[in-house]
Structure 1
Amino acid sequence: MSNAVVNGLAGASGGIVAQIITYPLQTVNTRHQTERVAKKDSTLTPATSPPSGTLVQIFQVIRNEGLGGLYSGLKPSLLGTAASQGIYYYFYQAFKNKAEAIAAANRKKGRGDGSPGMLSWLLVAALAGSLNVLLTNPIWVLVTRMQTQTQAERKIVEAKREALLKEASENVLTYSSLQGHLAALDSIKPHPYGTFQAACEVYNESGITGFWKGIIPTLIMVCNPSIQFMIYETSLKYLRAKRATWKQHLKDITALEIFLLGALAKLGATVSTYPLLVVKSRLQAKQEIGGNTLLRYSGTLDAIVKMIHYEGLGCFYKGMSTKIVQSVFAASVLFMIKEELVKAFALVAKSQKISLNITR
């Protein structure tokens, strides 16, 4: 089995475990990102009140939707994680092998120390990330829809309530009629929907192209794993060099060190690219929010302009603290599990080779 396949399988396994552990934080973070709250001087009427803190929102979701609300979209998310991590790590390792072969060839020619530089790591990660994004974006559109479905339904109900109250204040509705309509609205309980329903909604709204909504900011966000792996590989290389110099008998990097390096790499990448993640989530979430056309985005540039105009620059960093905790912890777990699985594969392969030689 090639090391690219081994890394792909190990990355998929690590990604699934990390996703299950941190999924509730991801759900809350996506809801934070897709909240529309106007600036004080904006002409846009806020669709909802400002979002509360992470823990408060977690308890609100549990109270209103049960524990299942925190895991809306988990099934396609696990499929997406397995596919994304498997595809990404497979191509990352394949391109990495090529970069290392080029670096080794350059060393023979007297150029370089035989190891890829930072630019090489960035290019390797960018190529792997671009292929991953193009192949798996439809899955993440469905996951975003499922995570924000109940939130969107509540916004629609709130908008209808405001419209009824406005009609009552203008004497368009009688008091008894108003009470009847409000009671009907109160009986509506937002509920998550399944993958098939989400897919139908996306297709009915935008056709096949709807499954690639947010592809532009997502492709730009390829720089996130590029930055992440640049920091990770550079730090790992530095640590191994120091370990080889200072402690010749302890050259192996421990699982805890991998965990910490993964956390450091993901932290730097997340802070750098978070605004793009918010734009992507806005584009992939349901656009019909209370019938307010100012809250709908026709594309990436339209979303950025409207977000700045109506909500201010702060909206690009909504929920960032939650995302940092979720993504850093998930990346740390992923890296640690992946590296341990790769070691395990190597040991199994080595033992099989030894036993094969013995039997011969």
Structure 2
Amino acid sequence: MSDALINGLAGAGGGIIAQLITYPLQTVNTRQQTERDLKKERRKLGTFEQMYQVAKQEGWGRLYGGLMPSLAGTAASQGVYYYFYQIFRKKAEIAALERRKKGMGDGTVGMFSSLMVAALSGCINVLLTNPIWVVVTRMQTHSKISKKSELDMAAPDDAILAAVEPPPYGTGHVIQEVYNEAGFWGFWKGVFPTLIMVSNPSIQFMLYETMLKKLNKRRALKGKSAPTALEIFLLGALAKLGATVVTYPLLVVKARLQAKQATTGDKRHHYKGTSDAILKMIHYEGLYGFYKGMSTKIVQSVLAAAVLFMVKEELVRGARSLLAGDGVDASRSKPP
């Protein structure tokens, strides 16, 4: 089994576990990002208050709305990303060794090369998996109950009918809805800000590998073995924290574009594209609009990244040990 495939499968496994642990936070965060209430005087609910409200009004299951396509998307995204990352990383390492032979550099992959490797891997990942995340965003922001404003406008009998749970909003329904709205290319809504957002994992992995390299050198000087799972967990958390703070506004724009567009005729809530969304958000919501739900996202993404890195490293280490062990056992079973 190739090292790229091992890392790809380990990344997928780590991503799934991290997703299962942090998914309710992700659902709440997506709703916060796509909230288009322009009344600033309205008190904003905290993360856990909103989780409780969703569970109370719509059921605990809504906190896991879109979980299955999200797990598929996470496995695909992490698998694709780590697979291509390992391939491009290997090429960068070979190129660095070639430069050292020519008297240029010390033979290690520099920060810029690491950034480019992560960016290329991220672009391929975005182009291949964006349709999955459009479906996930729709399912996370779908509410089983109508908005309070709509109920207030309705007659008493109509309000009772409006509060009745609508038909199931499954993956197939969402796919059909997106296709009816915008055709085939509707599944690539938000792809432009998402492509720009490849800088997030690029920054994340650049910070992670830089810190990991320093940690390995420090442990080597002290005669210690490879970093522990806890150390990997903390490095992953710090790396993701730095990347999230820088790129969060793009994440909000992407969520707005991928969520179901308002059909009430209010142009403030309907976005024609990335630039239109940015301009309308600046005009009607100010800079605050680009940072809605950021505290929730920091908690969710940092925790998810930390778990991902920890689980991935352990899976890679376990897979390599297993393969090496099989090799040893096989050699021992051979007759002299």
TM range (shorter): over 0.9
Q: CA deviation at 1:114?
A: 1.2
Q: How does 1:1-360 map onto structure 2 within 5 Å?
A: 1-38=1-38, 49=42, 51-150=44-143, 154-155=146-147, 158-159=149-150, 161-162=152-153, 178-185=155-162, 187-189=163-165, 193-245=169-221, 247-248=222-223, 250-288=224-262, 290-360=264-334
Quote how far apart the aligned CAs of 1:135 are: 0.3
- After superposition, what is the alpha-carbon deviation per residue over 1:150-192, rounded to whole angstroms, capped at 9, x for unaligned? 17x634x624744x6xxxxxxxxxxxxx44444443x434676
Distance of 1:51 and 1:282 partners within structure 2: 18
Preserved CA contact (<8 Å) 1:69 1:192: no
Residue 241 of structure 1 deviates from its aligned partner by 1.4
**8 Å contact kept, 2:14–2:307:** yes
- Determine helix, strand or coil for the equivalent of 2:142: helix
Give yes or no for contact 2:18–2:307 (8 Å, CA) kept in 1. Answer: yes
Unaligned runs of 5+ in 1: 41-45, 165-177
CA separation in 2, counterparts of 1:84 and 1:354? 34
Greater Rg, structure 1 or structure 2? 1
Change (3 A) 1:93 1:161: same
The number of equivalent residue pairs is: 334
For the residues of structure 1 that align with 2:232 and 2:101, how far apart are their CA atoms?
A: 31
> Which aligned runs of 4 or more in structure 1 are off by greater than 3 angstroms?
159-162, 178-185, 187-192
State percent identity of aligned pairs: 62
Contact 1:278-1:316 within 8 A present in 2 as well: yes
Post-superposition shift, 1:65? 1.4
CA contact (8 A) 2:34 2:259 kept: yes
Contact 1:221 1:277 (C-alpha < 8 Å) held by counterparts: yes
Measured in 1, the distance between the counterparts of 2:190 and 2:114 equals 25
CA distance in 1, matches of 2:215, 2:167: 49
Change in CA separation of 1:202 and 1:94 when aligned onto 2, cut-off 3 Å: same
- SS of 2:272 mapped into structure 1: coil
TM-score, normalised to structure 2, is: 0.95
What root-mean-square deviation, in Å, do the aligned CA atoms of Structure 1 and Structure 2 show?
1.8
| Matching residue of 1:167 | none
Deviations 1:103-124 (A, max 9, x none): 1121222211111011011000
2:306 maps to amino acid:
S
Structure 2 unaligned runs (5+)? Answer: none
TM superposition shift of 1:355: 1.9
How far apart, CA to CA, are the structure 2 residues paired with 1:142 and 1:88?
Answer: 20
